[in-house]
Amino acid sequence: MRENTAGKWFHVTVHSILLLAAISCLIPLINIIAVSFSDSAAIDSGYVWLWPIHFNLEAYKKLFIGTRVVPSFVNSLTITVVGTGLSLLCTTLAAYALSRKYCYGRKFITLGMVFTMMFTGGLIPSFLLMKSLGLINTYWSLWLPGLVGAYNLLLMRSYFEGIPPEIEESARIDGCGEWRLLAQIFLPLSLPVIATICLFLAVGYWNSFLNVLLFIHDAEKMNLTVFVQQMVQSQSMLIQAIALQPEDLENMSPEAMKAGGIVIMTLPMLIVYPLLQKYFVKGVMLGAIKG
């Protein structure tokens, strides 16, 4: 069917708006990258925009040698990998159980999970709970509260429910039990939704900020997000921490180091997202077919 004129203009308008939105998000990122590779004079004069001027790597050298960016990166990686793995495992097991019609009390449990999406205990009760459990200053205080997210649970449960029952019946005839059915039938068929939830969890754990400030008091355990925030917030603290000398400021500005910290913090997610993008769209759409 040939598209009418109104439909064509609609698509042109929508694509134009999305293009402008994409450009508005991309330009600041490109500018940050350009600043991180420019020298002090170019940054202070305001000449740096979308391309580095007087290209140099001094900011990154100082970041990796004179700051805690590497230990903070390792801490972020630990929080993200372990937290994502634990959350994905628990979410998958819970979603599979709640997707079975013979699961006793599954409607009540699902309503309880939906209730947590609208009401939370708050910061002070959460802190007191973590303190009473003895989890303050441990990464378990970051992993345990978000072990099973309500939205992720509902998304995966809906996906499991959308798998044709004939596949399950055929597997059971061949002698599949619950664990084998989940591992060999449901999980291979659910790669799109698993990749989608994995991306959600990884981004959340990588960008953890407020929970780290609340529950982690040891500077050795701080993640990269908190480190970059502290570096950006206080320039005097940055100069003192890395012991910048007057000759260093001639080739490298503290602003370049701040920009470099932001680039290092965002780079892993920029690498991971394109790899999971095809699963991301498919997983969200298929998981939303059945409510």
**Domain parsing of the chain, residue ranges:** 57-287
The string of pLDDT tens digits covering residues 78-111 is: 999 999 999 999 999 999 999 888 888 888 888 8
The mean pLDDT value for 175-190 works out to 86
**What span, in angstroms and rounded, lies between the C-alpha atoms of 196 and 193?**
5
d(CA 242, CA 264): 17
- Domain 57-287 top-level CATH class: mainly alpha
Phi-psi region of 9 (alpha: psi -120 to 50; beta: other; left: phi over 0): alpha
CA 66 vs. chain centroid, Å, equals: 27
**Percent of the chain at pLDDT above 70?**
87
Q: Is the pLDDT of residue 286 over 80?
A: no
The single-letter code of the amino acid at 114 is V
Question: To the nearest 10°, the Cα dihedral for 256, 262, 266, 271?
Answer: 20
> What mean pLDDT is reported for the chain?
82
251: tokens are: 């080739």
- The pLDDT, as a whole number, for residue 291 is 41
Three-class DSSP category at 188:
helix
Q: Are 79 and 205 in contact (CB under 8 A)?
A: yes
Question: Quick one: average pLDDT of 18-39?
Answer: 89
**Residue at token pair 């929970």:** 211
